[in-house]
Chain A
Amino acid sequence: MNTTTTYTPRARYVSVPSLETVAAWLLAIIWVFPLLYAFWAAFHPSEFMVNFELFAPLTLENFTNAWSQAPFARYYLNTFALVTGVVIGQFIVCTLAAFAFARFPIPGKNVLFMLVLIQLFVFPEVLIVENYRIASELGLINTITGIGLPYVASALGIFLLRQTFKTIPRELEDAARIEGCNWLEILWKVYVPLAKPTYLAYGLVSISHHWNNFIWPLVVTNSVESRPLTVGLGIFSAPETGVNWATVSAATLLSIAPLLIAFLLFQRQFVQSFLRAGIR
């Protein structure tokens, strides 16, 4: 996000904050409050859940409780495996398809491309019933592959990469061909390196999406061995399990921590990526 505003609003004297500033800050405080509250609840003994004393004793006990009451280490591992696998798979499959759409003469290419774009609207999770049947016929129930595979041929990825590939001058390709490169080498040495920003943007969006995805992983998994963090957290914190709330908030923070920290460190990249992937 570009932080430079080129015009200066009418000069205001700093002493009295304008109504707008007050409103902006009020809204910001309301917006972070739920998250701050989760931090408060997670780092204090449960009797301080609704009892705000500034010097309430801090504790890590809620985190150790959460960690010992549910296999979060395994959930982390599964989520990491899932996200890595999905992103690598998407990069490969979408790159190939986008390259074909951008540079190859294929009969009926526009119609095919429109067919691909349908997936921007018809998501795997909407077709949950049939996708479950197909996944079970393929023996993918309760596997990490089963969670990820329906998302690998991503219309968004194909779309974004195709658009980027199309902007790359043909001359570069011709030069590479004169050097004796074949198609795959041209793709790998010319197109892929020049599309790096697109890969970064799409990769970040995809990581956030799959780190957070819930309903399809819930349906397709049925044991600790394959459940990702979101599903693990959902089962752990379901009200009927009667888990202590301070522990639930610790568990919630545990599951969002990696993505939240990554976001706070690389805010600009995240926001840029969401923008890039959104404006299409």
Chain B
Amino acid sequence: MQLYGALLLLPAAILLATFAYLPTIATVINSLFLPGFRGAPTEFVGMENYQVLFDDPTFWKVARNNLIYAVGTIPTSIALALCMALFVNGKLRGRGFVRMAYFTPTILPMIAAANIWMFFYAPQIGLFNKLLGALGFSGVNWLGDPNVALGSVIVMSVWKEAGFFMIFYLAALQGIPPELKEASDLEGTSRWSFFWRVTFPLLMPTTLFVLINSLINSVRVVDHLFILTKGGPNNATNLLLYYVYENAFSFFDRTTAATITVVILLVLAVVATLKFTILDRRTHYQ
């Protein structure tokens, strides 16, 4: 029995080891070594690569961008997702269409979404600037102005993500017993305080779940940067994973790439801990 069980696990174990565990360990090891020149053995340098990374202002800029990106996208998507769910959970004419409209961006590839938003953001022929021009304002360089570009990327991400989170809120809303609403109507509670006193606390597990997911996405999804900005102008929209990509495949600096990857892994480890401690203790789906 035990042998049989182990055999069943074997394919998954081999694949996970090859593409998850070994690369993780190798990444950590690479971040502690410097490669030798032309076949010379690699040299153990301890934390030196981290020292170099932390002295690199670009790294801090990118890390700060990622933080701004997370702070910009997460609360906005969550709030919008909750509004959307409340809208389509009530009586609403054309509810099917509205719900579809909210959810559709979710199933598009990030690349396609970025292409579409490019039509809005492009400096000369983009729709936003044409509209501004028609109203008599001068155009904004949505993706080329370092002060605006990250904001533009954030707006696109919120558009892509909010509908996905909506479905979780909607499912949770439909699980709230209608008696609560009836009771509060009898008491004459206003809708506003019913929402804040009853609905919102009951949705807390969903909010935490969505929060975890959006945190993960904020360090994992950088596809849109390839189309919109390529991390520019002057790294104004560069995010950690894109910076890893640049270091590894444009600058051919695997050591720096490995070191930044470890930083990302640490962020993910924090998120995972958050999930396994807080979320799993507070939600009981099973």
CA distance A109 to B27 in the complex (A): 27
Residues on A with C-beta less than 8 A from B178 are 6-7
| With A106-B6, A150-B19: A211-B89 Cβ-Cβ less than 8 Å | no
Residues on B with C-beta less than 8 A from A215 are 222-223, 226, 241, 245
Size bracket of the A interface: 35 or more
Find the B residue at minimum CB distance from A253: B112
**Pick from A150, A238, A274, A280: contact of B164, CB under 8 Å:** A274
The answer to whether A183 has its CB under 8 Å from any CB of chain B is yes
A34 in contact with B120 (CB, 8 Å): yes
Residues on A with C-beta less than 8 A from B16 are 115-116, 119, 153, 155
B167 in contact with A97 (CB, 8 Å): no
The answer to whether A1 has its CB under 8 Å from any CB of chain B is yes
**CB-CB contacts of A194-214 with B at 8 A, as 1s and 0s?**
000000000000001001111
Interface residues of B in 117-156 (CB under 8 A from A): 117-120, 122, 125, 127, 130
Q: What total of A-B pairs shows CB separation below 8 Å?
A: 280
A97 in contact with B92 (CB, 8 Å): no
**CB-CB contacts of A123-139 with B at 8 A, as 1s and 0s?**
11111111111100000
B265 in contact with A104 (CB, 8 Å): no
CA distance A234 to B102 in the complex (A): 25
| With A5-B174, A129-B248, A245-B119: A234-B226 Cβ-Cβ less than 8 Å | yes
**Pick from B6, B15, B109, B285: contact of A211, CB under 8 Å:** B109
Residues on B with C-beta less than 8 A from A153 are 11-16, 19-20
B248 in contact with A132 (CB, 8 Å): yes
**Pick from A7, A97, A278: contact of B8, CB under 8 Å:** A97
Tell me the minimal C-beta distance from A279 to chain B in angstroms: 5
CA distance A187 to B225 in the complex (A): 44
Closest 5 CB pairs of A and B: A104-B5, A130-B23, A153-B15, A212-B109, A24-B87
Give residues in B with beta carbon < 8 Å to A. Answer: 1-2, 4-6, 8-9, 11-16, 18-24, 26-27, 30, 80, 83-84, 87-95, 97-113, 115-120, 122, 125, 127, 130, 159, 163-164, 167-168, 170-171, 174, 178, 181-182, 185, 209, 213, 216, 219-220, 222-223, 226-227, 241, 244-245, 248-249, 254, 257-258, 261, 264-265, 268-269, 271-272, 285-286
Give residues in A with beta carbon < 8 Å to B. Answer: 1-3, 5-10, 12, 17, 20-21, 23-25, 27-29, 31-32, 34-35, 37-38, 41, 49-50, 92-94, 96-97, 99-101, 104-107, 112, 115-116, 118-134, 149-150, 152-153, 155, 158, 163, 183, 208, 211-215, 218-219, 229-230, 233-234, 237-239, 245, 248-249, 252, 255-256, 259-260, 263-264, 267, 270-271, 274-275, 278-280
